Chain A
Amino acid sequence: MTAPTVEKPASAEELARRLHEAAASKLAVAPVGGGKARGMGGVIERCDVLLHTTRLDRMIEHSQADMVVSVEAGITLEALQAELAKTGQFLPLDPFHSPGHTIGGLLATGWTGPLRLRYGSPRDFLIGIRVALPDGTLASGGGRVVKNVSGYDMMKLHYAALGSLGVIVAASFKVFPKPLHDVTVSSHGGWTDIDRALGAPVAPAALELFSDGGVLARYSGSPDAVDRVVTELGWRRVGGEVWDEHARRGPERWARITVARAELPKVMEALPPGAQWWASPGAGIAHWANTNDAGSIRVVRSAVEARGGTLVMLAAPDEFMREVGAWGAPPSTLEIQRRLKNAFDPDHVLNPGRFVI
């Protein structure tokens, strides 16, 4: 296998052209953003062109009054946040394996972090998208308004599709004002403390549980309400920088577990003793680090899938990935999904073998 050609187009139009050229020659294309999630998905079957979005790093427009931002896909999350911070706003996205994610990469992978509990995922605040398709067209969906039902929701089609239908070149988001007050507290009470926090009248903005029983909770909003709940919980106040530290987690081998949140405690019991993990119990998401035993992955995956959940490998050596499989059981709508793939990428030049379709 020869080394893939590296393309770093400087504009969306150029990227669409390069993609079309490759597709016309039936060359396999792997879109690359910050390269932080390259381990996600099946081992890629062929790769002739690495199509980088990193030069598409412009902030297209930020309207402070409208709380809407449009960016090119190659901008890093940190660069975007720095720009938004100048006006007291932010994108409520704090993915693991930070820093260095590009916006396009985060949209393609669907990676999120602890703030998902309060703000949802980009699925909820992505309001516009522009995608280069293998036939060389650039297709947009949505717009720059916060509420929009004009035509099909093309954002949902491409979000977390791992670049299987096209390459995201630009996106617009609804952004949020930084909260008036933001307090982080920690405890060591495990699931008991999680239940306490989730049952309290003020919902945390983020709530993380660690395999050693540690708990981190973040409360934001009106100062009186935040102070009341923090006082009632009686947990130790810690500095907000713990969240940056937490977001840096990105082991060489790890898996993501998702399940209905009420099922999460049972699922986590299926993990082998001593397993290292952290979870957002309110969201039904957990990350399992240093997963090196294929047998226990299979056991946990079947426990999760029996409850309607998923276990997806986020990174592992190729051989291990082939052994356990990246995705687990295919969705029941696989046949329709394949037809969508064929409609957008008829020659299967985008990320062949990496996604489920």
Chain B
Amino acid sequence: MPLPQPVAEELRRIVGRESVIDAPNDLRIFERDGSIEGAVPDAVVLASSTEHVSAVIKVAAKHRIPVVPRGAGTGLSGGAVTIRGGIALQVTRMRKILAIDPVAQTALVEPGVVNQELSLVAAQHGLFYAPDPSSQKACTIGGNAAENSGGPHCLYYGVTTNHVLGMEVVLADGSVHWVSGDAPDRVGLDLCGVLVGSEGTLCAITKIKVRLLRIPPSIATMLAAFPSIETASQAVSAVIGHGIVPAALEMMDSVTVGAVEAHYHAGYPTDAGAVLLVEVDGIAESTRELMAAIGKILGENQGYAIREAQTPAERELLWAGRKGAIGALGRIKPNYYLHDGVVPRSRLPQVLSAVGEIGEHYQLPVANVFHAGDGNLHPNILFDLRDRQVLHQVEAAGEEMLRAVVELGGALSGEHGIGLEKSAFMPWIYNPDDLGAMHRVKDVFDADGILNPGKIFPDPSRKSVHLAGRTGLAVEAKWW
């Protein structure tokens, strides 16, 4: 439904004529993010400044029109999907790194700065930005902050919220505020901590101050094969049980390894039931010693074909396989549904065997590639969208896998967010009082519910996820 003409005019006056998109054909590319369900916005507004964001939200508030802040659109839970229509507020033009302070080891960035770009620029000062989602070549710092994104190296370094020092945010009334800042332990409530990970439902983010870390002088990366997921999981627990928390500890199952090896020729052992990728960093003495200890522990836990990257190029290749794993899976089926759940680490073998059984039951191939050290699993259900019936199966299988995660004491999402995808499942882990407390927060920040409505909280008006009706366009355009 197009915006009323006077509203569209108001928006054009704010950002300029060419920065409001509302022609139906042009809107279609904003229909979705990296997740499975889409909805076409009524208008897309391309903001270039905090003033734009503030003024646009004021207009939206006045007319009670939904506003959904949007970065690169790589999110995997539908966080940027305008499910109730309204305005997609695109912030990717706000892509300046405003300051890097090498002494304080901080950076001040606009929300549209790409994650990897920040680390590349910071590297000139010997610094890096630690959270590294697999989409880091495209995803934005603003989106990372809104979703509290993770990544392989969060095992040691922590997730986005641990690295955000402060933010400039625009609230639902269009007012602009700074929350937190460089000094620790500020006076009053930790609004910044509450707003990080609020998925665009409490504020739009217009500047982010982040902590940068010194690039470790030495990095060592090791690959080990295991007969099975169970033995590999056991080895993960053994490493950590020895008092070693590596920088990253990633696992790939045999399906993934096969696809990755065929694509990247990274030397992954294709006969393995599972492969572990382990990385440690620090000074050379430390990485040498830790790698020796880890190699020994892996060997004692049925690890074989244990190999340490000998050159930076070899290390890059091992990581290219991991970070590009999802793409490589296209060799098996053209489409995937990437799930995200997290269990207590010791439950990994159980949950992965449940995931395998569910895949078999639905006759859907499942590839697992995930952050084993955190207990954060990512089952990928592989399918071919040309078979239109399969979507319901994919959806049902995904729901059962999440159910298994929750039944083993886990949580619905480790790093992708609840968004649209999982809002209906929130009552699985939170009772009405828990959700009621979260709702109080929502009501304080956005009483009229204009900011990213229909996300996080279960929506009684949506009985179930309707995939088929939304995907017709995508199928025709071969976007999947």
Contact = CB atoms under 8 A, between A and B. Distances in A.
Interface string B435-448: 11110111111000
A213 interface: no
Contact of B375 (A138, A139, A146, A228): A146
B441 A157 contact: yes
Interface in A50-90: 63-68, 88
Interface of A: 63-68, 88, 110, 112, 120-121, 123-124, 131, 133, 137-141, 143-157, 159-161, 164-165, 176-180, 201-202, 221-225, 228-229, 256, 258-262, 283-285, 307-310, 312, 327-334, 336-337, 339-340, 343-344, 355-357
Interface string B376-408: 100000000000000000000000000000000
Nearest to A177: B243
Contacts of B431: 140
7 contacts: A131-B437, A145-B342, A153-B197, A201-B283, A261-B104, A285-B184, A344-B437
B374 A146 contact: yes
Given A151-B438, A177-B240, 19 more contacts: A65-B346, A123-B193, A131-B437, A138-B433, A141-B438, A146-B342, A150-B418, A150-B430, A152-B194, A152-B198, A153-B161, A153-B193, A156-B193, A177-B241, A201-B283, A258-B183, A258-B186, A331-B186, A343-B443
B327 interface: no
Contacts of B192: 156
Contact of A141 (B101, B161, B434): B434
A115 B237 CA distance: 25
Nearest to A151: B438
B179 interface: yes
Interface string B234-277: 00010011111100000000000000000000000000000000
Given A221-B282, A222-B289, A357-B189, A149 B177 contact: no
A155 to B, nearest CB: 8
B171 to A, nearest CB: 7
B52 interface: no
B245 A177 contact: yes
A144 B476 CA distance: 43
A161 B189 contact: yes
B182 interface: yes
B187 interface: yes
Interface stretch (B8-16, B90-98, B147-155): B147-155
B286 A225 contact: yes
Contacts of B289: 222-225
Nearest to A355: B188
Interface in B94-120: 101, 103-104
Given A63-B346, A153-B148, A334-B188, A147 B433 contact: no
Interface stretch (B329-337, B409-417, B460-468): B409-417
B276 to A, nearest CB: 17
A140 B435 CA distance: 9
A150 B190 contact: no
Interface residues of B, number: 86
Contacts of A150: 411-413, 418, 422, 426, 429-430
Given A120-B158, A141-B434, A328 B286 contact: no
A193 B196 CA distance: 36
Contacts of B182: 259-260, 284, 308
Contacts of B445: 336
A149 B286 contact: no
B344 interface: yes
- 8 cross-chain pairs, A with B, having the tightest CB-CB distances, nearest first: A156-B193, A177-B243, A260-B182, A225-B286, A139-B437, A224-B285, A66-B344, A65-B346
A327 B187 contact: yes
Nearest to A227: B285
A284 B183 contact: yes
Contacts of A256: 185
B2 to A, nearest CB: 33
Nearest to B169: A333
Nearest to B445: A336
A90 B290 CA distance: 20
Contacts of A149: 147-148, 159, 197, 413-418
Contacts of A179: 243
Contacts of B243: 88, 177-180
A151 B283 contact: no
A152 B197 contact: yes
A347 to B, nearest CB: 15
Nearest to A334: B188
B430 A151 contact: yes
Contacts of B342: 145-148
Given A147-B414, A154-B437, A222 B286 contact: yes
Contact of A147 (B242, B286, B376, B434): B376
